[in-house]
Amino acid sequence: MKTFADRVIDFNKKLEFHGKLPKGISIMNPFMENKQILSVSSSFYKKFYNDHQTRHLILGINPGRFGAGLTGVPFTDPKRLISECHIPYTGKETHEPSSVFVYEMINAFGGPEKFYEQFYIHSVCPLGFTATNDLGKEVNYNYYDSKELTAAVYDLIVDNIHKQIALGIETDICFCFGTGKNEKFLREINTQHQFFKKIIALEHPRFIMQYKAKTKQFYIDKYLAAFSQINS
């Protein structure tokens, strides 16, 4: 019988998009663009998910260039992969603020082993996007940043959530990173498809690090209080 890790790795190997994107938007599939990423992420999942336990799902937005775009693990940049998860990584050791917050929260929870045996983090949209800004620089682009992109990847998103649940996810509560557009969209499709009985939205780690860094501990405590509801 396949473990939770085996199922996640299989999902990552088969992840692809065949639709048509709006002009100026490029898709980012780290598992196809860099062979090391599948190996690195597989090491992560084998370390923390090599069992038959069910878990609660946390959904972010979509992969970013400097976190999951380089490691294949949501909200885990190369620096945190090495320092917090103790998994070897060769390549550019990038720093992603969201990952910094998430691992401070995870350590407050009790550490990666304790956290990941109860929770599994992924994204509403499993693939990331980039666009070129007015200065000619490539930047992250979110699935909800244009109606055209949202429409183009809608079926991918619905299929993604079905497949995430099939990995071994409890459907009583789903946690959402993002209290703005990500929460709004997730609640809308949940109403239509009835994926989860309840959605608990939390401020996105990037928002916290960018705008609320001085009160970071407040948000760590808020996260921990929300996650404690799965045992109540």
pLDDT digits (tens, 9 = 90+) for 59-106: 999 988 767 888 999 999 999 999 999 999 988 888 899 999 999 999
Domains of the chain by residue range: 4-231
Residue 226: CB partners within 8 Å, gap ≥ 6? Answer: 175, 200, 202
What pLDDT sits at residue 183? 98
What pLDDT sits at residue 232? 63
CATH number of 4-231: 3.40.470.10
Compute φ and ψ for 138, nearest 5 degrees. -75, 130
Q: What's the pTM?
A: 0.95
Query: 194-231 burial, b if ≥16 CB within 10 A, otherwise e?
Result: ebbeebbbbbbbbbbbeeeeeebeebbeebeeebeeee
Q: How far is CA 95 from the centre of its chain?
A: 16
